Amino acid sequence: MSDDVRAGLEGVTVAETSLSRVDGEAGELVVGGYPVEELAGNATYEEVVFLLLEGRLPTADELDSFRADLAARREIGEEVRNVLRRAADEGLPAMDALRMGVAAANLGGETGDERETASRVIAVVPTVVATYWRYREGLAPVDPRPELGHAANYLFMLTGEQPTERAVRGLESYLVTVVDHGLNASTFTARTVVSTESDVVSGATAAVGALKGPLHGGAPGPVLDMLREIHERGDPGTYVRETLEGGERLMGFGHRVYRVRDPRAAVLSEAAEQFYAGSGQAEFFETVERFERVAVKALAEHKPDRPLETNVEFYTAPLLWGVGVPPELFTATFAVSRVGGWTAHCLEQLADNRIVRPVATYTGPTGRTWTPVEER
């Protein structure tokens, strides 16, 4: 392999963006100029999406208008429902159903304006996920309610019940925290697609396909399984020791970019703590915190030359489970948030576009000559 090759494009700068900045050494994430901690503690998802799309926070009137616009775009037609019903009947994973639903997002008379299409895609993803899930559970879909905010409406469509304020706040914190994260695999995929002057729907559909892979968006479910097992056993130390001695991975620790604790883990741990306080499940969350302390210490001793700190998935799992999101929908719920970042990146790419066209170093044979088939 040539010295010029950067496998996985690691460390290669391929774009400029004003949307988010990730500092892996310092453990910082800035979204639209604001530390993620400040946004997650104060903003609604709609405010942060407006920030990404427009480059600034909305006024009160603009926020009301933006919320109403998103709410008006949530409905999906019977054709899309039929596809989701078929996916559910065949037992396809949620991310497959979401890919199909997003691909059909521009059905229904969209104007072709990419900014409006971005709003449509952002608005429709929760409806697609919730509709698929209702079919999976043998239930009728729940129509979106325009008076509910983005987070509350998603929970309502999943359950058919008015969500608690505590659950809405917990989900809102999650949606804000993971809305954008630099040039990750799915975001880069979206930008690559639209760099050909394709459209936002195609970019978002491709991004869903990238997110489906377990190396990108598929770990929170196993984290929850691990945490629930540890809580039942009541012995985090033994679990950690047995896992590491067996050469297995502790889920929820280590990150491709961060060399310190993931700043999103810090935000979500606080959100989860607030949710579980007084929830009747406080003992479970105490187990989660105790396990983190034991695991971080053990990992530092086990692999002193490789920083393996808590990542975003560790607290995503207990928080989403607590607010009522089924584990089968954890990755799809990630997409409910990240679609705001994907579409903003698509629009940013189109505003100052150059087609993404890297090169590869050829390592195959040379000098071959043709041999007729009868002589091979």
Residues labelled catalytic: 255, 313
Alpha-carbon span 23 to 261, nearest angstrom:
11
Which value, in Å, is the radius of gyration of the alpha carbons in the chain?
A: 22
Type of residue numbered 44: T
Alpha-carbon span 367 to 352, nearest angstrom:
42
Burial class (CB in 10 A: 0-12, 13-18, 19+), 273: middle
Type of residue numbered 350: L
Whether residue 71 contacts residue 47, with contact meaning beta carbons closer than 8 Å, is answered with no
Q: Which residues are CB-neighbours of 299 under 8 A, at least 6 positions away?
A: 244, 250, 253, 308
Provide the 10 A C-beta neighbour count for residue 295: 27
Q: In what order do the strands lie in the sheet with 28-31?
A: 20-23, 28-31, 34-35
**Range 221-255 burial, b when 16+ CB lie within 10 A, else e:** bbbbebbbebbeeeebeebbeebbeeeeebbbbbb
DSSP result, 312-370:
HHHHHHHHHHHHT--GGGHHHHHHHHHHHHHHHHHHHHHHT-----------S------
Provide the 10 A C-beta neighbour count for residue 147: 9
HSE (CB half, 13 Å, CA atoms) of 250?
Answer: 31
Whether residue 210 contacts residue 185, with contact meaning beta carbons closer than 8 Å, is answered with yes
Beta strand segments in the chain, E: 20-23, 28-31, 34-35
Q: Which two tokens stand for residue 115?
A: 């900014």
